[in-house]
Structures are given as structure tokens and as C-alpha cells.
Amino acid sequence: MARKTGSHSEITGPRIRAAAQHLFARHGYAAVSMRQIAAEVGVQAGALYLYTPDKQSLLADLMRDHLEGLLEAFADLPPASGPEARLDQFARFHIGYHIDRPDAVFIAYMELRNLEPDNFSAIEALRRRYENALEAILRDGRAAGVFAVPDTKLATLALIAMLTGVTNWYREGGRLGRAEVEAIYADMARNAVGSPARVQHTA
């Protein structure tokens, strides 16, 4: 058999990426075989090579797509004025975007070591662009005297680590709702970078 009704490149391609993302996140890139991915899609292993040149590209493409999507969504945010509003917007956006994509996030942070050098550089550059966006906010806030951060680079990495950690525990329909989680993390981020006006939306 081959080519069931309506079966197409446009169907199988995305299903392969989805299966790979799911399995890579669950078991790790190195622990997942092409045959397992193929089985999840309902296809033989050989068929995967019509959609990806090799396993490594499958991983690199997932990571690049995730980070490019992240940067694009961030760029599409409405402009906010003032470092405090911009930080609040960043924190809420980060939580909201990551909460919906735990698999992609996990892969993008954990499988870097399985990328070949060229792919690694490309992915790292994307991540750095995102980090730089936050660092710019912190620098502006420090210059304006509304944030007290001894080191903007350290604070950037600390905040991103704190916010991204939400994917380790948040589950849809759990004890805390999405909006609550966004608000609490945004407040913690605001408070962490310090000084003047202490904010407390949530009680």
C-alpha cells in the first residue's frame, strides 16, 4: 500500500515533526529512534527521509522553528512605554508563550548539546537575541532609576530561568489558572529587579 485517501506531504510532514517533538521531549533526542517516530506517525522508517534529510535536521528544525516563533510573537506585541510596563509585558508574554509549548521549550533548552556545531551556533544566536531584548529593558530601567540591578546580564539570565521554570510544573486545569500564574510571575520578576515602587497586583 501507499498513499491512502488524501494522504499528502502536507499531512505527513507536520505529523512527523509533531511526533518527533513529543518523543524528543519525553525521552530525549538520543533515546528516540527514527523507527519510533515513524511508528507514532503510522509509517515505515524509510518514509521519514522524504521529509527530512536526517535525524539531526529534524531536531535542529524543531528548535529553530520554536525560537523563530518566539521572537516573532514577541516582536508582534503592542509597544509598551516605560521599563516597568515593558518588563511586565515581557514576563507575561514569556509565561503565556512557554506555558503552551512545554515540549518545544524543553527541547530547545535541553537538546542543545546534541546539535552539531553549525546548528548550535544558529540556535544560540536566536536565543541570544531574545535574551538581549530583556536585557535592554533592564538597562533602560536601571538608567531611569526604576530598577536596581548590579549586573543586567546576570539579572536577565536569572529572570529568564525563573520564568521558564513554569513549564516544569504548570498543567492545564491545575490549582492555579493561567492568568493568576502570569500575574504572580510578573510581580516576582518586577520585585526581583528591585527598588523603588513595590508592586503587588495579586494578593
Binding residues vs a copy of itself (CB under 8 A): 26-31, 110, 113-114, 148, 150-151, 154-155, 157-162, 164-166, 168-169, 176, 180-181, 184-185, 187-189, 191-195, 198, 200, 202-203
Closer residue to DNA (CB): 25 or 155: 25
Instruction: State how far the Cα of 54 lies from the Cα of 61, in Å rounded to an integer.
Output: 11
Window contacting DNA (CB under 7 A); options: 5-13, 94-102, 179-187, 188-196: 5-13
Shortest Å distance, C-beta 46 to DNA:
2
DSSP states of 23-57 as a string? HHHHH-GGG--HHHHHHHHTS-GGGGGGT-SSHHH
Instruction: State how far the Cα of 200 lies from the Cα of 203, in Å rounded to an integer.
Output: 7
The total of other beta-carbon atoms located within 10 Å of residue 21's CB is: 22
Three-state secondary structure call for residue 111: coil
Shortest Å distance, C-beta 63 to DNA:
16
Closer residue to a copy of itself (CB): 43 or 66: 66
- Residue 1, judged by CB atoms within 10 A of its CB (0-12, 13-18, 19+), counts as exposed
User: How many degrees, rounded to 5, is the angle at CA 77 between CA 25 and CA 170?
Assistant: 35
Which of a copy of itself, DNA, none sits in contact with 200, Cβ below 5 to 8 A by type?
Answer: a copy of itself
DSSP symbol at 196: S
Question: Nearest Cα to 183, choosing from 198, 169, 202?
Answer: 202
Which of a copy of itself, DNA, none sits in contact with 26, Cβ below 5 to 8 A by type?
Answer: a copy of itself
Which of a copy of itself, DNA, none sits in contact with 144, Cβ below 5 to 8 A by type?
Answer: none
Contact with DNA (CB under 7 A): which of 32, 155, 183, 189? 32
Window contacting DNA (CB under 7 A); options: 41-49, 71-79, 111-119, 183-191: 41-49
Q: Which residues bind DNA (CB under 7 A)?
A: 1-9, 11-12, 32-36, 38, 42-50, 53-56
